Amino acid sequence: MAKMIDDNDDRLINAEDSSTDDDQEEQTLSLPTVAGSGKRKIKKSDMKRNKLVTIQPGLIRLSGLPYGFFERELYSYFSQFGVVTRLKLIRSKKTGGSRGYAYVEFEDEDVARIASETMNGYLMFRSLIKCRLIDRNKFDTEKLFKNWKRLFTVKTPRQKRTLYNRIKSKEQIEKSNQRRAKKLLKQQEKLAAAGIKYELTDFIPLKSIKKEEEKKSPSSEKKNGSTSNKTTKKKSVKK
């Protein structure tokens, strides 16, 4: 069955993937309506023909995008080829600026192929655009377009500090330890491949931390006080 598109339905899109705080209000960016996207009647004969045809979505990757060619411009430009279901402009996490490449998903794979062929090598504002069709079976699209409707905002230093210093659960600590162990293993493999014999250890000295905690604890202070009294008594007996 073909989808009926309404002029009043604005598509919403996000700039980047990224993780935003749950405490912040979710902001969305409204996209413009494209001319010629109104309702149209479909014949029953066309509907019967289309039942036998399976339409698969297509995904293209764009690189070399000029500055100023952002989400709204991408959507309005590529909608002339066909229906754009999702798109993602990759932005910098520090500055929020465009990194010059994006992913556009079309409703039909044939439309995506035509768009990639026409846009590959296209000169736009002194920048040469490169475009290629991506195999969706070899690509995790759900991870790519996660939170794609959410508007990307750069976090302030205060928000970064609160996020870093937040109280973590046991599961989060275990995941971070696993990631750290994987990084150490990769570094160890690189050293072994280079012929360097050196065993890497974790950058957090756990033993020293435990010793410091024992020193700060009140039980250790009592022990230290008792040991100091004993030593003074022994010295007095020797005299």
Query: Is 112:133 a contact under the CB 8 Å cutoff?
Result: yes
Give the pLDDT of the chain (239 residues) as one tens digit per residue: 444 444 444 444 444 444 444 444 556 666 666 554 444 555 555 655 555 557 889 999 999 999 988 988 999 999 999 999 999 999 988 888 999 999 999 999 999 999 999 999 999 888 899 999 999 888 888 888 988 888 778 888 898 899 889 998 999 988 888 888 888 888 889 999 999 888 877 655 545 445 555 666 655 555 555 555 555 544 444 44
- DSSP, residue by residue, 46-88: HHHHHHSPPP--EEEEEE-PPTT--HHHHHHHHTTTS-EEEEE
Could you tell me the pTM of the whole model? 0.54
* CA–CA distance, 193 with 71 (Å, rounded to integer): 44
| pLDDT value of position 150 | 81
Residue 213: what pLDDT? 58
Number of Cβ atoms within 10 Å of the Cβ of 71: 24
165: exposed, middle or buried (Cβ count in 10 Å: 0-12, 13-18, 19+): exposed
| pLDDT score of 79 | 92
